[in-house]
Structures are given as C-alpha cells and as structure tokens.
C-alpha cells in the first residue's frame, strides 16, 4: 500500500506529530511505501531547524529529518503556512522542501490512502 501523510498540528502541542511519525515508521517497517509527507497549517512547525528541545525530550524536527532522509521520502512544507510562521529554506530541516498546495493534490493522487494527523 502507498500512503500519503498530511500533518496539520505543530510539535509538542498535540499528539498528531508523534502519531504521524510512529505511523510512518510502522508503515515502512511493514513494507509499505510513503508517497510523501505534507506539512500544513501549524504542522509546518515540525520542519524548522531552529528547534532546540531540552536534552531529555524528543527532538521532533530532527527525527523527521532523519526519517525522510533515511527512507528517501518527499517531505513537503506548505509555502503559505511556512511564510506565516517565519519558516524559510534557510531554517528548514534537511530533507524537506517548500512548495504549494498543488503538491498536496498530487500526493493525494499518487497515494492509495491519504492519512491525516491533526485538525
């Protein structure tokens, strides 16, 4: 099965980012394909390299960066949502790129299922 993932909540606010991350890892471990991950609304905050959590906490942006690079997954950050939150190419995690909502439409077409995390 080919999954597309849409993340709409920011890190450390709700469980959406953690749930999406665990879902994506489990899907890959079971041999499924992740067609792409689209970060939208507050979900774009998962992709900032400016995040510096305490040492005893999980580093959400780093683990997303590591995951997409390790698995060759297209991680797309909504340009409008990113601009509203001060996220640019200069402070984006490695492995992610900024693009428009058209990419979300393409992801929905490419994937067998589009799974949404967050509001």
What's the pLDDT tens digit per position in 70-82? 999 999 999 999 9
Query: One of 24, 78, 93, 111 is an active-site residue; which one?
Result: 78
Tell which residue, 70, 60, 59, 78, has the closest CA to residue 95.
Answer: 70
Beta carbons of 110 and 2 less than 8 angstroms apart: yes
Residue 5 has pLDDT above 90, yes or no: yes
On whether the CB atoms of residues 71 and 33 are closer than 8 A, the answer is no
How far apart, in whole angstroms, are the C-alpha atoms of residue 90 and residue 48?
A: 9
113 and 3 in contact (C-beta within 8 Å)?
Answer: yes
pTM of the model: 0.96
Ordered structural domains, the chain, with CATH: 2-50+57-117 (3.40.1260.10)
Residue 119 banded pLDDT, cuts 50, 70, 90:
confident
Residue 78 designated active-site: yes
Strands of 113-117's sheet in order across:
96-99, 75-78, 33-39, 2-7, 113-117
* Residue 13: predicted pLDDT: 85
Query: Which alpha helices (DSSP H) does the chain contain, by range?
Result: 16-29, 60-71, 79-84, 102-110
């Amino acid at each position: 099965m080919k999954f597309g993932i849409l993340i709409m909540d920011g890190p450390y606010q709700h469980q959406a980012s953690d749930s999406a991350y665990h879902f994506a890892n489990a899907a890959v471990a079971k041999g499924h394909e992740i067609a792409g991950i689209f970060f939208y609304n507050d979900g774009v905050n998962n992709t900032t390299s400016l995040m510096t959590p305490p040492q005893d906490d999980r580093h959400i942006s780093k683990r997303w960066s590591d995951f997409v690079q390790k698995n060759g997954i297209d991680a797309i950050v909504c340009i409008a949502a990113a601009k509203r939150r001060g996220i640019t190419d200069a402070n984006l995690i490695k492995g992610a790129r900024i693009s428009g909502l058209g990419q979300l439409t393409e992801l929905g077409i490419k994937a067998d299922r589009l799974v949404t995390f967050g509001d």
